[in-house]
């Protein structure tokens, strides 16, 4: 609902309600209205995944979030839009809701046009599947990725069913990562269960080239590398 207020001069002006977080990062509120520049090399639509990946529970005020209920409709519209030739996913995320992250990652992995991902700053936790979901992936030399077991907040029942549920949830993440990267399952589990790397925790912290050496990410690079790669992929798509 729009809000009207009186200015100091006595005139009535219109104020709009606060915009959703994702609009601050260059996206549009109406996913059907994708404003893409007409570039002869190809129109690239960018999807920033910033901060905490928010699922069914709304994060407290003050948290930077990427909301799945915004991202999913935008991906659906971009996949069908004739003005979009390629998708650039830019990540700087601490992770967040596992199912929301996997849902977004699945849409990127099955996007109908060329996709490239670029990890800047961090692609931690559920950000790992998102980082590997594109056709080709980059990570900046200073960026990091944290691999750790699935965690859950809230009341948990101390029963075999709870343990089985955690295992199934973790397998979903493992299956996605190994199917969209070059890392082997046994190595990914070793990194996930390492007790010597993180203080008071289990998992592994990889920086830039380490993520490439492990087979998670394709190449170390920056924004220009990612864009040029995407243009090359768009050219090949046009030739088919």
Catalytic annotation, residues:
125, 148
Burial state string for 186-223 with b = 16 or more CB within 10 A and e = fewer than 16:
eebeebbebeeeeeeeebbbbebebbbebebbbebbee
Kindly state the tokens that stand for 74.
């935008």
CA–CA separation, 45 and 76 (whole Å): 12
CA–CA separation, 56 and 59 (whole Å): 9
């Amino acid at each position: 609902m729009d809000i009207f207020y009186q200015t100091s001069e006595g005139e009535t002006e219109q104020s709009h309600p606060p915009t959703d977080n994702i609009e601050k990062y260059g996206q549009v509120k109406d996913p059907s209205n994708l404003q893409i520049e007409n570039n002869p090399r190809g129109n690239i639509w960018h999807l920033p995944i910033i901060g905490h990946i928010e699922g069914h529970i709304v994060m407290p005020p003050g948290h930077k979030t990427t909301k799945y209920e915004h991202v999913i409709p935008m991906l659906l519209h971009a996949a069908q839009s004739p003005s979009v030739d390629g998708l650039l996913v830019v990540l700087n995320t601490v992770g967040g809701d596992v199912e929301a992250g996997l849902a977004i990652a699945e849409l990127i992995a099955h996007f109908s046009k060329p996709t490239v991902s670029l990890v800047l700053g961090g692609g931690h936790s559920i950000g790992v599947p998102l980082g590997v979901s594109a056709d080709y992936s980059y990570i900046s030399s200073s960026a990091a990725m944290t691999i750790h077991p699935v965690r859950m907040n809230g009341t948990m029942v101390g029963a075999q069913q709870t343990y089985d549920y955690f295992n199934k949830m973790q397998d979903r993440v493992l299956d996605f990562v190994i199917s969209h990267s070059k890392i082997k399952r046994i190595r990914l589990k070793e990194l996930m269960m390492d007790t010597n790397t993180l203080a008071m925790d289990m998992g592994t912290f990889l920086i830039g080239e380490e993520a490439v050496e492990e087979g998670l990410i394709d190449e170390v690079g920056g924004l220009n590398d990612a864009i040029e790669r995407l243009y090359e992929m768009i050219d090949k798509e046009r030739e088919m």
